[in-house]
Chains A and B, each alone.
Chain A
């Protein structure tokens, strides 16, 4: 189990002598738009590794979340939640302890196609240029993401590091609904009721015409 609290992680090996040229990191887009038809997306990062040695590692780090992991146990013959472990500010902080809760959390995230175990290789475009595609699953959390590129020297020492941030945001109708429901919850509730009542009335009017 990797202890890295990274949402997605990628690694590449590049072998050349170490030089003091800067590491370049850039994103194809600084925004991933989650519309109502969103069914997974991509984050494309590219850049240039300085001619030199070292291991270039790229990480996509998701927004932090407060979560609770709960465990069911048997109580009077019924399966109920009997234990829980909180995790604050994930994924930056791993859940406390090394016990079953931590393993369950990682398994849960991996089922959602988040927190992969093994890194994938990135595209070497030649001349030190590279490109990487991170796949985002359909149920991706909304928020600010960070892409971190780090050049590691011998012994795991970080030689250079670059960061770029991007937003995963609702757009269009979805964004309008989320904003309205957040800012004017009462009005949003009433809107839902009115929509439902109108549909109910329409149904009643339609059946009346026929019978």
Chain B
């Protein structure tokens, strides 16, 4: 069924967008990833402008992070105080990110920068995941990594900087600048790339802040809800690139996909699943990288101002 997107001013197939939402939702359900890293590149492959892809994807990010953080809140897996400090940085990051996005659009380099960022992040994360899965499969049974995660202590940076604050839930007394700074980077990623950046925030919170692992995912999702919301409003106001019809299609597909993914997660476990996710991430990185390094099919592009 063709649907004419009013803001994007183009016609797309509703089935295609529902399917994209469902596939991304399925991955969220199985692996607990946000999936924005897949939606944005695919929307761009399908011919949407990077601006509409990022602005609209931020909207889907709000939906999936609300679902995720509500689940963690119920299980007590959110350090609200830590999340709020990160959020303060995240809001600043969102605003700065929108400014950078608009500037890149003006100079016609947004597709280049998005491509480079996606290749770097996805290539890095996919590669690390693949390596880690192979290593942990090789020495099955030993979980020294988990043990190291649980023996949390604040990183040297967090302990030394000024403006120290107590975070009773995480049992930490650290400088507020560090979680704020991590949130700032998260905010930049939400506005520039349309992704929550959990794959970067989570390790940073474990290794730099020294947060208990049980609180990390929930707290990161909690702050992504609000940074994502701010990014959506800013994209709508600054560039008018949030298409509510497209967002609804992606989210509707996502609801079904997430549901199926949560169900399927009981059967899909272990190293094979992690290797699959790593390969999907690497495939997207390669697809994004092809235009950058081998050369685009058409060196010319036309943009309507």
Contact = CB atoms under 8 A, between A and B. Distances in A.
Contact of A138 (B4, B65, B245, B295): B4
B108 interface: yes
A79 B4 contact: no
Interface stretch (B141-149, B180-188, B236-244): B236-244
A69 B245 CA distance: 29
A189 B234 contact: yes
Interface stretch (B122-130, B170-178, B247-255, B280-288): B247-255
B297 to A, nearest CB: 10
A82 to B, nearest CB: 9
A38 B11 CA distance: 8
Nearest to B247: A192
Contacts, number: 193
A78 interface: yes
A135 interface: no
A195 B245 CA distance: 11
Interface residues of B, number: 60
Nearest to A101: B300
B296 interface: yes
A141 interface: yes
Contacts of A119: none
A36 interface: yes
A29 interface: no
B138 interface: no
A72 interface: yes
B222 to A, nearest CB: 12
Interface of A: 34-40, 65-74, 77-81, 84, 100-101, 104-105, 107-109, 138-139, 141-142, 170, 173-175, 177-178, 181-182, 185-186, 188-193, 195-197, 199-204, 206-208, 211
